[in-house]
Amino acid sequence: MANQSIQYYSMVPLLKAAELSFLDGKPAAIGAFNVNFFTQAQGILEGLRRANAPGIIQASKGANKFQGGPDKIAAMVLGAMEKSSHELPVALHLDHGDDEKAHECVDSGYSSVMIDASALDFQDNMKLTGKIVDYAHSRGVSVEGEYGKLAGIEEDVIHETTTYADPFLVPHFFNETNADALAVAYGTSHGPNKGTGMDKLAVHIVERSYKGMTAYGQNEDHFLVSHGSSTVPQDIVAEINQYGGGVEGAAGIPIEKIQQAVKAGIRKINIDTDLRLGITATFRKYFVDHPGIADGSPDVLQPIKRVLDEKPEAIDPRDYLKVIDVGQLRSDPAGTDLEEVMVLVKERIANHVEMLVHKFGCAGLADKVERIPLDEMARRYG
């Protein structure tokens, strides 16, 4: 029988706990970590457990497609929680969804969704975001919008340059849409090649946006989000290249700038590339440390190794894991050819997540989160 205390929560009480911590003089933001397969979820959960931190696990449109649909992701992450008896507050969030995918994820068990309508003009962005809010809130599901455009590539969305958010319009966006969270463009960037100048992020945009929200009394139930915030550790990039990779020009956001943004008002930090790099480094090192092991696994390890050998630039695990039966990635790999390498993957992710949530200030906040079931959230939304 399933443990009834293991369930998904809206991200609102998690982000509110971070905001109340900030108001108490302890700046905090909740880490939001992207997921593609079971062991990746396990690693995230273990890192959160070690730090006693609430957390957001999120899946992009690409991740949902990779695993065969959002219902598969929702069941997979819940299975990972049940496997580890994880009872700390966790939200399952759609990252960078469109209208269709947001509706599908609400219906498939997600507790939070993002509608990225930032490519539309401001009024149409608010209109579409508001429609998703109405649908999701009636089911207790939280909603994140996006305002401004981040440079870089996120799934199938490509922006050559950043269009900054106007801080004076942020409270208006919240007022018109009733979205719970808003990703504001302030100079961060998607992907592993964030370029130079990341030490000169326009953190003042976050600060002014937050001050406006506070002036309108929005700050305890509406929250600012930082996308494209992976730190891209250079030691992991070097490890990838040491073991056969060819990652060039990789640069991330300095952790000090993320912490400045948290102090300015950011309450959710999105991390994806860091985990991709760590997983890739682990697989590459594993194959070098275990010469010939792939030969004994023609249906699993051998095709994975072949892709890594042929594509030294690959950092997205989906690129080299899609060549096997993806269904086996949705469950515990114990007893399979993937068990040994996935043990290493889990530990790598757990260590990085634990480190980041301490840096974000949300370690120890799990006990401060109000446990509000989704049906109660729906009633509160009214």
**Residues acting as catalytic residues:** 95
Query: Is there a contact between 346 and 46 (Cβ–Cβ < 8 Å)?
Result: yes
Query: Is there a contact between 333 and 342 (Cβ–Cβ < 8 Å)?
Result: yes
With a CB cutoff of 8 Å and minimum separation 6, the contacts of 162 are 148, 149, 150, 151, 185, 187, 189
Please report the sign of the dihedral spanned by the C-alpha atoms of residue 238, residue 239, residue 244, residue 245.
negative
Query: Is there a contact between 255 and 297 (Cβ–Cβ < 8 Å)?
Result: no
Query: In whole angstroms, what is the distance from residue 14 CA to residue 227 CA?
Result: 17
Burial label for 248, CB within 10 Å (0-12, 13-18, 19+), is exposed
Query: In whole angstroms, what is the distance from residue 191 CA to residue 228 CA?
Result: 7
Count of C-beta atoms within a 10 Å radius of residue 44: 30
Query: Is there a contact between 210 and 176 (Cβ–Cβ < 8 Å)?
Result: no
Which residue intervals of the chain are DSSP H helices?
11-23, 38-51, 61-66, 70-83, 99-107, 122-137, 170-177, 203-215, 234-242, 255-264, 273-289, 301-310, 317-321, 339-360, 374-381
Query: Is there a contact between 29 and 265 (Cβ–Cβ < 8 Å)?
Result: no
Q: Which two tokens stand for residue 28?
A: 């905090």
